[in-house]
A and B are shown apart, each in its own frame.
Chain A
Amino acid sequence: NAGVTQTPKFRVLKTGQSMTLLCAQDMNHEYMYWYRQDPGMGLRLIHYSVGEGTTAKGEVPDGYNVSRLKKQNFLLGLESAAPSQTSVYFCASSYGTGGYNSPLHFGNGTRLTVT
């Protein structure tokens, strides 16, 4: 099993450009999450989904949009990139709500730089 796959691995954008980060999981997990990781800030939740067709805002949702059209995929979009969105983005999935007997499985991350 591949687990959680993120594409691309690296990307450089100019301010104002848009892009979509792709996340795919082959574990039939219901829950999927997008986190961003910045030095000294830990992992901060951007958006999450509790099932196909659902999305919800996390701690830092501004400037991002998400979609979960298929259970196995969770897309993160940046409509107009800003330098403050330079970060490492991690997608994760879990069988149930990420709290009880349901650890998160993370992808390898996408390193995004906005100039």
Chain B
Amino acid sequence: GQQVMQIPQYQHVQEGEDFTTYCNSSTTLSNIQWYKQRPGGHPVFLIQLVKSGEVKKQKRLTFQFGEAKKNSSLHITATQTTDVGTYFCAGLAGYALNFGKGTSLLVTP
């Protein structure tokens, strides 16, 4: 079945540094979604990418969908302490989303 892999598993940065997490699927994706989970919280939808090569920005966050629609990335410019949490990518498998294991981001002031 489809597998969604994310790297790195953990990332610890100083506030102001950049951060990138990568997502790779074993199969071609129709689209990919990104979620953020704050410590102790629940996953919250961030964005969906649909088109090959698509790039979307949300303030300091930049999301990319690969040309082959098998990989994606999330880049955060100049991290802030409010960025702390786990970032998940997810791809459709049948009728439900298949989530990667997530990248946990820790930001030190």
- A residues neighboring B (CB under 8 Å): 31, 33, 35, 40-45, 48, 50, 56, 58-59, 90, 92, 97-101, 103-109
B88 to chain A, nearest CB (A): 7
A104 in contact with B92 (CB, 8 Å): no
A103 to B35, CA, bound (A): 9
A98 to B59, CA, bound (A): 25
**Majority SS of interface residues in chain B?**
strand
What are 13 sample pairs from A and B whose C-beta atoms fall under 8 A apart?
Answer: A35-B99, A42-B101, A43-B43, A43-B99, A48-B96, A56-B95, A59-B98, A97-B95, A98-B95, A99-B33, A103-B33, A108-B41, A109-B42
A42 to B90, CA, bound (A): 10
Q: Which of A40, A56, A90 contacts B43 (CB 8 A)?
A: A90
A40 to B33, CA, bound (A): 20
Proximity string of chain B (25-55) to chain A, C-beta cutoff 8 Å, 1 when within and 0 when not? 0000011010100000111110010100000
B92 in contact with A103 (CB, 8 Å): no
Q: Does B85 contact A (CB under 8 A)?
A: no
* Closest Cβ neighbor of B44 among chain A residues: A106
Q: Does B9 contact A (CB under 8 A)?
A: yes
Q: Which of B44, B45, B88, B95 contacts A42 (CB 8 A)?
A: B88
Q: Which 8 A-B pairs have the closest CB atoms?
A: A99-B92, A42-B101, A103-B45, A43-B99, A106-B42, A98-B97, A48-B96, A97-B95
B50: which A residues are within 8 A, CB to CB?
A: 100
17 A-B pairs besides A97-B92, A104-B45 with CB distance below 8 A are A40-B9, A40-B101, A41-B101, A42-B100, A45-B97, A45-B98, A59-B98, A97-B95, A98-B95, A99-B31, A100-B30, A100-B92, A101-B48, A104-B35, A104-B97, A106-B43, A108-B42
